[in-house]
Structure 1
Amino acid sequence: MTRTVDRRVAAPPRRLARRPRAALRIAHVVLAIGWTGLAAVMLVLPAAVLLQGSDAGFAIPTMALVGGGVIPFFAVGTVLTGAALGIGTPWGLFRYRWVVVKTVLALAVIAGSVTLNSGWIDAAATDPSLLWPLLLSSVLHQVMLVSASVLSVEKPWGRLRRG
């Protein structure tokens, strides 16, 4: 009985050329900074209303506009450019722990925004006490987004093990 050995070598990871990679990285960083800044707006608006005890008349529509119309563009753009960078660079999508954690954080912020904040913003128009959960979720989102930025800079934990 003859045994055959598969001698195929795994293809090297695809790499983007220098200029497209730089353009994609710049787009990713700008979108991520924008997303983090917009998340800060979502933190400051309910905080201002709650701390000053003022009317939420301006804050609620502004939060609805920012949270429902502007943030999704930046969030999806950040995730898509990050995925493209992962595919087009040696970092990959599932090679390094920091990339996986960063992706999970981004997706968790998106899921939290969609499931929690959108309903709370609409309900806060009639019940201002719902500004507290909005404030707390905005703090959590800010921590998660800043953590993702730190992971991008520090790149801790090394590679994932191959099975």
Structure 2
Amino acid sequence: MTGTVERRAGTAAAPRRLGRRPRAVLRTAHVVLAIGWTGLSTVLLVLPAAALLQGSGSEFAVPAMALVGGGLVPFFAVGTVLTGAALGIGTPWGLFRYRWVVVKTVLSLAVIAGSVALNTGWIDAAAADPSLLWPLLLSAALHQVMLLSATVLSVEKPWGRLRRG
């Protein structure tokens, strides 16, 4: 029987796996969303840098950052995490089988938490106080490093499996 899991007496059922086509669609969606998230993170890095270099560019940069950070990034970030989790559940990589998957997930969740906790308030406050562009720039640089590190982990898949028990 295709798509079913047989259970023998005394043995655990094998985990379900996605079929080839659904896995390819999900992987493609995950990569596209992750590329979009990294690109938008780059925009959030360039905007405060440009405003700081220009000296008076915060009139454009802050509303643009609010649009990107508040409207677009959450969609791509959550979509990336959800498609990644679905891939972990539906493929042999799993969610907690390999160190690189766990570290990549932690990095992604840390960027989301940092964006929600720090950037949202700083972007709103930067409209009145342009000196807050510096923390926004540093936060965006850190997020970029974390997202690029997650990309390297996806490509290289280092460190092997987690130990059981």
TM-score, scaled to structure 1: 0.94
**Count of aligned residue pairs for this structure pair:** 157
Question: Counterparts in 2 of 1:67-146, with a 5 A limit?
Answer: 67-146=69-148
Query: Shift of residue 22 of structure 1?
Result: 0.1
Query: Shift of residue 54 of structure 1?
Result: 2.4
Instruction: Describe the superposition over 1:86-135 as per-residue Cα deviations: whole angstroms up to 9, x where unpaired.
Output: 00000000000000000000000000000000000000000000000000
- Structure-2 separation of matches of 1:10 and 1:58: 58
- Structure-1 separation of matches of 2:12 and 2:153: 28
- Structure-2 separation of matches of 1:117 and 1:8: 52
Q: Once superposed, what is the RMSD of the aligned Cα atoms?
A: 0.9
- Structure-2 separation of matches of 1:126 and 1:133: 14
- Structure-2 separation of matches of 1:155 and 1:132: 34
Question: Counterparts in 2 of 1:1-163, with a 5 A limit?
Answer: 8-163=10-165
Instruction: Describe the superposition over 1:1-54 as per-residue Cα deviations: whole angstroms up to 9, x where unpaired.
Output: xxxxxx732322221000000000000000000000000000000000111212
Tell which deviates more after alignment, 49-58 or 130-139.
49-58
**Where do 5+ consecutive residues of structure 2 fail to align?**
1-8
Say if 1:102 and 1:151, in contact at 8 Å, map to a contact too: yes
Q: Which amino acid aligns with 2:147?
A: L
- Structure-2 separation of matches of 1:14 and 1:61: 46
Q: Which amino acid aligns with 1:153?
A: V
* Alignment match, 1:4: none
- Structure-1 separation of matches of 2:114 and 2:87: 24
Say if 1:98 and 1:155, in contact at 8 Å, map to a contact too: yes
Say if 2:123 and 2:136, in contact at 8 Å, map to a contact too: yes
- Structure-2 separation of matches of 1:10 and 1:27: 31
Runs of 4+ in 1 over 6 A off after TM superposition: none
- Structure-2 separation of matches of 1:10 and 1:83: 22
